Copies of this chain bind each other. A is one copy, B any other.
């Protein structure tokens, strides 16, 4: 049960908080104060009268719920607005491969309409013998390329130890699917105020996603972008994962956070990236994150799923048209 007070009901509210200290969690949003861990019967008649709302059936992830936080959250980075009244493109190579290459990819991404440059410097590869990324050098190349084209940077953080270093170079922290329930890492980025792009885990339920977001929000950071990137199902012969387009409207209904779609990791094969990008858009996504490469056969990671720069351009143009249609 959540019992909601107005913050200006201070005396009554304070009295409740004091009496149940240690038993309750107290959350504040604008003038709403939500108290959990007690029931309405624990309150005196006066206190009950002061409560403005009682929510009996609520998720554990209160701060990530529209019940607590009804207004949609807008994420603002220097060159990009991610929200339900915009439509953004993040694009770039899977891995930062070299200074020259990421610059070329940044030019291509920018030309297609992207305002955020993606690229991995620390790569979570299934095998320890696969390319693990260029590390801090990669971050430098990525930042320089983004700056040259007046773009923002999103890049993955894999452990707390790298936080301070990565924070210098990126505008948005990416938490990858495999780390979606790395709670130590979620707590760490929750203590910053930098936007966090949280990718859904391969077998994460919607409630798992909300609880993972809550770990970030609980630290005070509500700048969260949720990303549907395909889930693991019984069939991965033709597509690498199954894009759960239904998750887009479900998350929009339940949470105030923007939701973007990653068709590259969902599809896993270039033939299916564009249809899945458009499907995600039509389902209501607030943006797309897409991997590109000019020479997929020689990409250091995930070549088979990379769009060419030209494909990115036509795909995003169609996606924008679809997004525009939805709003009419």
| Chain A contacts to B: CB under 8 angstroms | 25, 36, 60-61, 124-130, 158-161, 178-179, 181-185, 187, 201-203, 205-208, 211, 214-215, 218, 231-239, 242-250, 253-254, 266-267, 271-272, 275-276, 278-284, 318, 321-322, 325-326
Contacts and interface: CB of A to CB of B under 8 A. Distances in A.
19 contacts: A60-B129, A61-B127, A124-B181, A126-B207, A126-B211, A128-B187, A161-B161, A202-B203, A205-B237, A231-B242, A232-B234, A233-B234, A233-B242, A234-B234, A242-B242, A242-B244, A248-B275, A275-B284, A279-B279
Contact of A184 (B159, B242, B248, B325): B159
A315 to B, nearest CB: 11
Given A129-B60, A215-B128, A326-B318, A238 B275 contact: no
Contacts of A218: 128-129
A161 B182 CA distance: 13
B243 A272 contact: no
Contacts of A181: 124, 126, 178-179
A214 B266 CA distance: 26
Nearest to A281: B282
A161 B271 CA distance: 42
A60 B125 CA distance: 12
A62 B283 CA distance: 34
Given A127-B214, A231-B235, A279-B280, 16 more contacts: A126-B181, A129-B218, A159-B159, A160-B160, A161-B161, A202-B203, A231-B233, A231-B242, A235-B244, A243-B244, A246-B275, A248-B279, A279-B283, A282-B282, A322-B325, A325-B325
B271 A275 contact: no
A326 B278 contact: yes
Contacts of A214: 127-129
